[in-house]
Structure 1
Amino acid sequence: MKKINILLVCNAGMSTSLLIEKMEKAGVAKGIDASVDARPIEDIKSYLPGKEVILLGPQVRFKEKQIRAMVEDQIPVSVIDMSAYGTMNGEKVLQQALGLVSQAQ
């Protein structure tokens, strides 16, 4: 089973809990062990080890440059597609994460 470690970044770490559940469920359906962790932007530094991709909630997209600098291009960083986030489309967000990881390899 393929495994992916994803960090979701939002304002308070709360709004993504439903998205996490849907992403993990989509992963199971595809034979992927998706380990998804959501954290508020202020706390992410200590959660970076082992993460393969960082996805930002649209509400914190203005922090993308800062996070890219923090990880020094060692971890792919992107903003979650607005429509996928708004509809809590876990499958689409998981595909976005998988695409970023495969591009980085």
Structure 2
Amino acid sequence: MRKVILLCAAGMSTSMLVKKIVEAAKEIDYDVDVSAYSISEAKNVVPSSDIVLLGPQVRFNLKKIQDSFPDKPVSVIDMRDYGTMNGKSVVAMIKKVLKDD
């Protein structure tokens, strides 16, 4: 099981995307545990993750998160995928970054 952490401004809108990601992963039998948190919670939640995804609204934190957690892959969710809640596309990105294809 892959542990995926989504970080955004407050953890609210991203929680809707979590549901879409879980649904899309289930469709292809990809075992993930996905949780959304506020960017301010990063230090507490990132260490236990396999991958960190940033919501577009906090993409300016990319370097800071990468520098704070150099052993974790960190990516920004595409703005279009985020806006359309495209869980399928986000799952594809997760699989690609983690080399799970």
The normalised TM-score by structure 2 is 0.94
Count of aligned positions: 100
Q: 1:13 aligns with which of 11, 14, 21?
A: 11
CA distance in 1, matches of 2:95, 2:42: 20
**How far 1:23 moved relative to its partner?**
0.4
CA distance in 2, matches of 1:67, 1:49: 11
CA distance in 2, matches of 1:69, 1:93: 23
Residue aligning to 1:39? 37
Q: 1:23 aligns with which of 21, 26, 41?
A: 21
Note the 1:77-96 alignment, pairs <5 A: 77-96=74-93
Q: CA RMSD in A?
A: 1.2
Structure 2, unpaired ranges of 5+: none
**How far 1:45 moved relative to its partner?**
1.0
Residue aligning to 1:101? 98
Structure 1, unpaired ranges of 5+: none
